[in-house]
Amino acid sequence: MEFLDMIWSGLAWPLARLIFFVSLGLLVANLIESLNWTHGVAKLASPLVRLGHLSDTAGASFSLAFFSGVSANTMLAEAFDQGNMSKKELIFSNIFNSLPTYFLHLPTMFFIAVPLIKGTAFIYVGLTLFAAFLLTFIIIFVGRIFLPTKDKSCVTCQLDEEKTVGFQQALTKTWERFRRRIKRILSFTVPIYIMVFILNRLGMFDILETIMSRHLSLLSWLHPSSLGIVILQLTAELSAGLAAAGALLDGGSLPAREVVLALLFGNVISSPMRAVRHQFPYYAGIFNPRLAAELIIYNQSFRAVSMIFVTLGYYIISSG
């Protein structure tokens, strides 16, 4: 019975929930494209899209990412598979979606942080928010340099926003595309998710996290008492690190500055591991596994750069 409970709570239910949200996201993305709403939705992010030399599809995906990351990524995958988006733009667009994705998780993070670390939460959450905005502007800058200027010969720029499509016709087209794509998504997502689950149960991620945590002693710039916060973020999750931070703050063992630095650094080193565990299974279904791995590596690398920049900036400013 215990084994069955473990399989249900640790594998079957999370996998079923993932498949549901991936399927829902795929349907929403396909319906938006079938109704020719892509150009209209893209207008919401038009100024940023134009500055970064991104396409209307990238803009529509950015706007959609405020509500569903799966739908946003599905839209990018569809454009890439159809040859309407280059691989370089796909990478930039995926990272560009980091800001709306951050806003999806912001309420949860904020309302967990405030009760645990009180006023310090405003500093920590504010700095991570600044890092998300910084990453967006980095991508706009890099895209403006490396992507060609979009003109009227661009397929996505020629979308006829006045063209209307019957809802029944759009639904039929959406269902046909959904059936075709969901088979491929499930053929990758399910086995990869099961593989990650098995590796986790075998302790492979714990071994990697232990190896990483052993090297934290080299970080002499962090207060020794704050290493526990970093290790808990790495080996458990953000809420565990926040709980430890709250206890140290309340006990007077650490000042707010050291707590914020520990949380920021823990965020940097724990995010790649969480991305492998939680993002890769569904990324590998939406994109192909190799491309999914590339996108996660680029995304995490750019994100780490922005977070490290913000952490160093806070370290220098707060030292004065």
pLDDT at 51 > cutoff 60: yes
Are 174 and 27 in contact by the 8 Å Cβ rule? The answer is yes
pLDDT at 205 > cutoff 70: no
pLDDT band per the 50, 70, 90 thresholds, residue 293: very high
Tell me the C-alpha distance between 213 and 54, whole Å. 39
Angle, helix 87-96 to helix 69-81, in steps of 10 degrees = 170
Residue 57 has what DSSP assignment? H
Are 170 and 31 in contact by the 8 Å Cβ rule? The answer is yes
Tell me the C-alpha distance between 171 and 150, whole Å. 30
Which whole number is the average pLDDT over 178-198? 73
* Residue environment code for 136-145, b if the CB has 16+ CB neighbours within 10 A, otherwise e: bebbbebbee
pLDDT at 158 > cutoff 50: no
Give counts: helices (H), strands (E), the chain: 16, 0
Tell me the C-alpha distance between 22 and 316, whole Å. 42
Name the residue ranges covered by the structural domains of the chain: 2-319
pLDDT for 35 equals 66
pLDDT at 218 > cutoff 60: no
Which whole number is the average pLDDT over 83-100? 94
Tell me the C-alpha distance between 268 and 247, whole Å. 22
pLDDT for 252 equals 75
Tell me the C-alpha distance between 62 and 72, whole Å. 7
